[in-house]
Copies of this chain bind each other. A is one copy, B any other.
Amino acid sequence: MLAEIRRYKKIPRIDLSESTGISRATVTTITADLLKEGLIEEVRSETPEKDLRRGRPKVDLKIRGAAHHVVGIKIANKSLSTVLHDFEGIQIADHEVALEESVFEADALADEVSKAIEGLTSTAGLSAEEVSGVGVGIAGTVDALQGFVYWSPSLHQRNVELGQVLEDRLGVPVFLDNDANLVAVAERAFGLAKENSDFIVITIESGVGMGIVIGNELYRGNRGCGAELGHTKVQLDGALCRCGQRGCLEAYVADYALLREAGISGRHKSVSKVEDLLSAARDGDSVAKSIVDRAGRMFAMGLANIVNIFDPELIILSGEQMHSDHLYASEVIDAMRNSVVHIDKPGPEVVIHKWGDLMWARGAAAFALDEVSEIAITGHRENAQ
């Protein structure tokens, strides 16, 4: 209910009943409780006068922004991005911290996170105690319900109870998840999937990530390690991947894969940045073009496999790096469409969403908002951490 009000920003009770499928009487009872607890508030409706006369209600409900504050944080390679949101979901402050290392002991990472949050809250003139929950996005394999990290490129150790470590340090509830999952949460909360209950988000950064939303819920798999699109195999005994296996999609489309190919060519042997290779391809260099084109065709194949499995209504190709244009190209989307099972009904909508680097952190904040709302209403958290 809170999530629904938050999504609409302002909504009359009668529309809330319609959008949730809950009876008007029950909506009235529940919202009375939420009003009493100060989680929501009534505001004057902005419905035009003439509609009011036709029996439209005079007040809307909205989330009371000051009820809670949450922090969203993305642990990236050599940086921490943080955002502060009020309970309405409005972003109040953001703060970015550069890190000297990219791989940490859990305690040292907790120190950095704690410092970053202090920096953020002091920017906003808030004390750290006024934060009700912290959402954390991290690359790697994460069991979100347990706050458990099987492995992450940001941690020296495997099998770290990072959620607990952070919670002990910060003294507030911490909600941890894989970063691509949190982009899916962000797309649902304030991105391009506000109206979609089922969709797939694919992120292209140093790796290929995926978030799956089915029936309004993130699908996380049994151990929290599904949605590994980057390590689905596109070639039997294919190119070596950084994960140690062969033929993974990432081994054909990631930056390192393109540079590996460039290293073979006499002409591009000294290319050290993917941007340079892409620019050579755009300028018509045949070898560079061959390298970049194959990455696109392999990516189309990986995308097609997702469509053949999920038949989603919407796929969002979501990322902050502008230089992945070659993977978002219309030729790639067309190749994907040519590789899926054909029926006489159009396939999924594919949209490209390029955003600033705060999207990851905003997804973590949206996750924290959902979980803090759950705690505010039920008194306990959904996850078992």
Contact = CB atoms under 8 A, between A and B. Distances in A.
28 contacts: A159-B344, A214-B214, A214-B219, A215-B215, A219-B310, A220-B311, A221-B310, A222-B311, A222-B313, A223-B347, A224-B311, A225-B311, A225-B341, A225-B343, A226-B309, A226-B312, A227-B309, A228-B311, A228-B341, A231-B341, A233-B234, A233-B304, A234-B236, A235-B235, A235-B236, A236-B298, A245-B338, A305-B305
A263 interface: no
A150 B228 contact: no
Interface string A228-256: 11011111100000010101000000000
A113 B379 CA distance: 55
Interface in A148-179: 150-151, 158-159
Given A223-B345, A348-B222, A305 B158 contact: no
Interface residues of A, number: 52
A233 B305 contact: yes
A308 B214 contact: no
A340 to B, nearest CB: 8
Judged by DSSP, the binding face of A is loop
A212 B223 CA distance: 17
B158 A344 contact: yes
A301 B226 contact: no
Interface of A: 141, 150-151, 158-159, 198, 210, 212, 214-215, 217, 219-229, 231-236, 243, 245, 247, 297-298, 301, 304-306, 308-313, 338-341, 343-345, 347-348
Contacts of A141: 341, 343
Given A236-B234, A236-B297, A343 B311 contact: no
A223 B313 CA distance: 8
Contacts of A341: 141, 225, 228, 231, 243
A343 B140 CA distance: 10
A303 to B, nearest CB: 10
